[in-house]
Amino acid sequence: MKRSVLVGGEAGRGTDKTAALIGEIFSSCGYYCFIYRDYGSFIKGGHNFSVVTVSSDPVFSHEENFDVIVALDDVALRKHIKFLKPDGLIFVNNGDRKPTGNIISVGADEFAARKNIKRSFGNNVFIGAVLKSFGLDWHSGWKILSKQFSKFDAVVAREALKKGYGAWNDKRFWFKPRLQKLRLSTGNQAAARAAVESGLELCFAYPITPATGFVDELRQGNRVVVHQPEDEIAAINNSLGATFGGAMTAVATSGEGAALMAESFSLAAMSELPLVLYWAERLGPSTGVPTYTSQGDLKFALNIGHGEFPRVVVAPGDADEAYNRTAEAFYLAYKYRLPVVILTDKHLAESYYNFKPSPFLVRPEKFLTASGADYKSYAVTRNGVSPRLAPGQNQVVRVTSYEHDEEGLTTEDPKTIVAMDAKRWKKRKFLEGEIAKLQPYRVYGKGKNLIVGWGSVKGAIIDALRELPDYSFLQITYVAPFPVDKVKKIMRKARKTILVENNSTGLLGQVIKEKTGIEIGDKILKNGGRPFTADEIVKRLKAINRHE
Amino acid sequence: MNKKESLNSKMPITWCPGCPNNVVLYALKSALEDLIASKKILKRDVVIVTDIGCGGKMYDYLNLNAFYGLHGRAIPIAVGVKLGNPKLTVIAIAGDGGTYSEGVNHLAASGRMNPDITAIVLNNGVLALTKGQATPTNRLLIGNSDLNPIAMALASKASFVGRETTFDLASLQSTIKAAINHKGFSLVDIIEPCLSYNNNAEWLRKNIERRRGQTVSVADFGEKSESKIKTGVFRKKTRPTLEENLGLLKTGTKKRR
């Protein structure tokens, strides 16, 4: 059983918060939830909405039709009423619309005015009404809500919840929950949690949607020092400097910020300083549509930085993966002394998923060496990784953007240049061996036909598979280094292959073509800033099959 | 072996014969030697961060921990090194192209944020290694459009602002030393000729105006280029540093392994 609750209202009205609270309450009662957030570039005004999907089975995407519409304002009602399911309910604010049939006034604004409290406070009235319609006890809602308010405000908030609970008297949406309590997390939050647990000390970031949520989460709990420098260029150079100084660091941005960081990404490669770049894509080109999602930066991430050098690009597909892959990013960057991109997008970064952290497969650390007598900053070793020392010891430590010899001194000698280039590339083989153990790709389902995708499209594809018994899903997680042989093998075995990507031209398809020589003819692509729903994938897949 | 030699690397100097950068290199080394000898700093804690170009070659000439950075980015890298380990003595060395053109925003930001680093700027009015193109401080720029870095640093709230030339070694040494000793962001603008592309040595020599014990303010710089090159330490004020404001000094960076 699956139900959908839309919460809509103007920016500043608490739409996102209200939806998150509803999701948390349902999760705490044992329902699986997924929350999609749709908002524009407004601080006040405009129209934002969130869709809370509530399910008896794991769920990773939202739907386009709703059982409940929580219309915090009139725009929400007008905009979404046509997507109400036949037996659906609409909770509206006050009496300016005569309650008719399935439109129920909860009087939240009146309540707020009467109590002389902020309007968004009245949102708790709506939450109460939603709980009732699902047949949940209001106490289970209060358990979550009570944590949000000071003692003083709690009295009114509780009253609001109870008012909403009494405003409606039919638990038509009730279905049986799972018994176990579940937690919710955005991709940003899960990645930030992993970063903290990996030992991150300093994060440098200039504010940018949708990466800011990652940075804000790091600030919570005060375990990581976050610095906002003058621009993205400063951020990445700060990070490299601080890593050289001996700290574990990260930078966070989206595609536009990454563009500014390109030169220093290459500096990380040449200086062989570990770099972890948390990169949450949004819709480009240029400013594009900054609060909407896209998978349009894949090839940019694979190619960012001038010159040739090994790198890692890892693309998690949900919150659980954002957690584990982030730890792997720190581990690989610091162990192999190279730049690593954690590539997410707005949909993954800001949607709420059920989240249950599983133990890291690796143990991230700074991989700093103890001081040795004849230390060389760029010693050529078996695997190309030179032991890394932080300054402050008796040995001189050098890192450099210029080509250099083993001591880190500048060189233009052709033999040394070739030797040092070979040293850097030597890491690749060892890196590939290590990544092979980290599930660089995953296959879901047993169908003979294969859907291929990466990143946040995973959610809608996994949900679509329920209705597609003939299909399985190949998810590529490590796009660089690319698991060429395994992917080739899986794709060759498939009866039919379909590419699903949230961009205009099928960038992973192009990468697969380059790496394996296999061209995927059938593509289900979507741009426009909105993520796929499972229904959409099923429909478009059926349309492709009809044409053939 | 005397201490002076211990700061020298094995790399040969490849600046043009007679380049005034040698004066800066000498002054920097002797300033550091004094500070090391008087136990104000430890040699092993010194980190040099350079830009590229002629000034960047300092990276190779000093036997010290060093980071050879990117054009315009010596300052943000140096800020990072300091935040990564606040115990270190961090000195950024860059030219006027890197500091006042490509990376000028980092100068403005660092003045304001006050990280405890020292920025030494080799200011000769040209991008020499790319064959002498003008920088923002070039006095031959049309219509007095040259940037005054001292006015800019003062307006950016840099807590230590000094200017010297390569014609006065003693002052150069003492100002570099004072800048390194200063807790907070220090700018030392060093005016020098470029023998290959901007040899204004004769003019400079005649037009230096030493300020002793007098501070200057932004108001002292009008819209026109300076007719006399003011030298000296123009501001030296202490206020909380970026590391302190970020809470890095109390506990060091957390969870250090």
Tens digit of each residue's pLDDT (9 = 90 or more) over B28-62: 999 999 999 999 999 999 999 999 999 999 999 99
User: What is the share, in percent, of chain B residues with pLDDT greater than 90?
Assistant: 85
Q: Tell me the nearest-neighbour CA distance from B109 into chain A, angstroms.
A: 6
**How close, in Å, is residue A231 to chain B by CA atoms?**
9
As beta bridge partners, residue A378 has none
Residues of B within 8 A of A392 (CB-CB) are: 44-45, 65, 85, 87-88
Look at residue A139 in the predicted model and tell me its pLDDT: 92
Q: Please report which confidence band the pLDDT of residue B3 belongs to, taking 50, 70 and 90 as the band edges.
A: very low
In the CATH hierarchy, which top-level class contains the domain A185-354? alpha beta
φ and ψ at residue A79, rounded to 5 degrees = -70, -35
Q: Pick the closest to residue A6 from A47, A48, A52 (CA basis).
A: A52
Q: In whole angstroms, what is the distance from residue A440 CA to residue A483 CA? A: 7
Topology of domain B18-250 in CATH is Rossmann fold (3.40.50)
Which has the minimum average pLDDT: A260-274, B99-113, B136-150?
Answer: B136-150
Positions of chain A with pLDDT under 50: none
Contact B85 A230 (CB under 8 A): no
Q: Domain spans of chain B?
A: 18-250
| Cα of A418 vs its chain's centroid, Å | 39
- Cis bond upstream, residue B12 (ω within 30): no
Distance from the B253 Cα atom to the nearest Cα atom in chain A, whole angstroms = 6
Residues 6+ apart with CB under 8 A from B35: B41, B177, B180, B181
pLDDT of residue B253: 47
If you ran DSSP here, which 8-state letter would residue A382 be given?
A: T
Domain boundaries, chain A: 2-166, 185-354, 442-547
Task: Give residue B32's pLDDT.
Answer: 98
**Residue A368's closest chain B neighbor by CA?**
B257
Is the CB of A241 less than 8 angstroms away from the CB of B84?
A: yes
Q: How many residues does chain B have?
A: 257
According to DSSP, residue A111 is labeled H
Among chain A residues, the shortest Cα distance to B44 is held by A392
Q: Pick the more confident residue, A135 or B143.
A: A135
Contact B49 A391 (CB under 8 A): no
The pLDDT tens digits for B187-241 are 999 999 999 999 999 999 999 999 887 788 898 888 888 889 999 999 999 999 9
User: Which is higher by pLDDT, B124 or B141?
Assistant: B124
What are the chain A neighbours of B59 within 8 Å (beta carbons)? 398, 400, 402, 410
pLDDT tens per residue across span A422-470: 999 999 999 999 999 999 999 999 999 999 999 999 999 999 999 999 9
When CB atoms are compared, the residue of B57, B67, B242 closest to A244 is B67
Residue matched to tokens 């998978």: A295
Nearest CA to A270 among A412, A111, A423? A423
* Residue B121 confidence (pLDDT): 98
Gap from B248 CA to chain A (nearest CA, Å): 8
Answer whether A496's CB lies under 8 Å from A288's CB: no
Six token digits for residue B215: 């501070």
Beta bridge partners of B90: B47
Residues from chain A that touch B81, judged by Cβ atoms under 8 A, are 241-242, 244-245, 391
- Rounded Cα distance, A373 and A424, in Å: 24
With CA atoms as reference, the chain A residue closest to B49 would be A241
By Cβ distance, the residue of B11, B59, B81 closest to A244 is B81
- From the list B204, B206, B212, B219, the residue with the least C-alpha distance to B233 is B212
For residues B234 and B243, give the distance between their C-alpha atoms in angstroms, rounded to a whole number: 24
Q: Which option is the CATH number for A442-547: 3.30.470.10, 3.40.50.2300, 3.40.50.920, 3.20.20.70? A: 3.40.50.920
Secondary structure (3-state) at A209: coil
Threshold 0.95, pTM exceeds: yes
Best mutation target, A222, A223, A230, to test chain B (most B CBs within 10 A) = A230
Statement: residue B163 has pLDDT above 70 = yes
Same fold, A2-166 and A442-547: no
Q: Which residues contact A225 (CB under 8 A, 6 or more apart)?
A: A201, A202, A203, B83, B246, B247, B248, B253, B254
Top residue of B9, B50, B62, B70 to mutate, by most chain A CBs within 10 Å, is B70
ipTM above 0.85, yes or no: yes
Smallest Cβ distance to A202: which of B84, B106, B257?
Answer: B84
Q: Is B229 left (phi over 0), alpha (psi -120 to 50) or beta?
A: beta
Collapsing DSSP to helix, strand or coil, B187 comes out as strand
Q: What is the reported pLDDT for B5?
A: 46
| Residue of chain A whose alpha carbon sits nearest to that of B83 | A242
- Hey, are the CB atoms on B109 and A234 less than 8 Å from each other? yes
Is the Cβ pair B246, A227 closer than 8 Å?
yes
The pair phi, psi for residue B202, each rounded to 5°, is: -65, -45
Q: Which of A506, A512, A482, A511 is nearest to A294 (CA)?
A: A506
CATH superfamily for A2-166 is Pyruvate-ferredoxin oxidoreductase, PFOR, domain III (3.40.920.10)
